[in-house]
Amino acid sequence: MYTFSNRLKIASFILMAVGVLGIGIGFVSAPATVDEAKAMVAAHDDGHGDSHGEEASHAMASDHGEAADHDEHLLHQLQNRPWSALYVAAFFFFMIALGVLAFYGIQRASQAGWSPMLFRVMEGITAYLVPGGIIVFVILVLSVMHFNHLFTWMDADVVAHDKLLQNKSGYLNPTFFLIRAAIFLGGWIGYREISRRLSIAQDKSDDNSNFKKNFRWSAAFLVFYLISESIMSWDWIMSVDPHWFSTLFGWYLFASMIVSGITVIAMVT
C-alpha cells in the first residue's frame, strides 16, 4: 500500500494552515456595506492613481446606468474576491485528483503494462475526490443560495434584464445546475471507489476476474467522463461569464487537468 512520506504530509498540513489563514483574512477584510466598498476603492485610487478606478467604474456603471446599482455592483465585486480565490483553489486541487482519475482509467482500460506500479499512487491521489468534491459542491450550493455572486445568471434580477440569459434559463437554472453537479460527482467518486476495491481484491485473488471487471468499469467510466467533464467545464467555469462560450473549452480544461495530474504523480513518486 502506497503512503505519503511524513515530510510530504507535514508540508501539506503547513500549506493547508496557511491557506485557511489566508481565506479567513480575505473574508474578514471584505466590505460588508456599500460605504466600506467605496472607501476601499478610494483608498486604492489614492495609492495607485485613479485611472484604473475610472475605467472599472465606467465599465460597471455602463452595465447598470444608475449610481445606486453601480455601488451595489461594486460591493458584490469586492465581496466576491475571497469567494473567487476559494473557488479557484478548490476547483484547481479537485481537478488534479480528477485528472489523475482520468489517467488511471485510461491505464486500466488500455491495459498498459508499465503503469501498474503506479496504481496505488494514483489511487492515493484520487482519494481527494471525496473531500474535494464536497468542498466544491458546498461552494456551488452556497452560490445558489446567494451567499456570493460568482455566477451572475443565478441572480433573477440580472436574468430579467438579459435576453441571452433568459434563452439559456432552461439549462442555466439553479436546480438543474445542482442536479448535474451531483450526478457528475457521484459518477466520478463512485468509479474511484469501485475500481480501488477491485484493485485491492485482485491482489488477493488467484484469478484475473477482478482485473477484467476493472477493465469493463474503466471503459464505461471513460465514456461517462468524456461527457461529464465537458458539461462540467461549461457549468463550473464557463458559466461564470455566460455571455462568453467556446465549443473547445472542455478540451482546454481536460488538457490542463491531465498535465497537472501527471505532474503531481511525478512529484510524489
How many domains does the chain divide into? Answer: 1
pLDDT, tens digit, for every residue of 148-175? 889 989 988 889 989 999 999 999 999 9
Q: Which amino acid is at 22?
A: G
Any domain includes 130 = yes
Any domain includes 55 = no
Q: Has residue 131 got a pLDDT over 90?
A: yes
What distance in Å separates the CA atoms of residue 215 and residue 225, rounded to the nearest whole number? 15
Any domain includes 132 = yes
SS3 261: helix
Mean pLDDT of the residues in the chain? 87
Structural domain harbouring 218: 81-268
- Cell numbers given for 218: 474503466
Q: Are 125 and 97 in contact (CB under 8 A)?
A: yes
Any domain includes 15 = no
Give strand ranges (E) for the chain: none
Any domain includes 145 = yes
Any domain includes 66 = no
Q: Has residue 258 got a pLDDT over 50?
A: yes
Any domain includes 9 = no
Q: Are 80 and 152 in contact (CB under 8 A)?
A: no
Q: What is the pTM of this model?
A: 0.82
pLDDT, tens digit, for every residue of 178-224? 999 999 999 999 999 999 999 999 988 888 899 999 999 999 999 99
Q: Are 129 and 188 in contact (CB under 8 A)?
A: yes
Any domain includes 61 = no
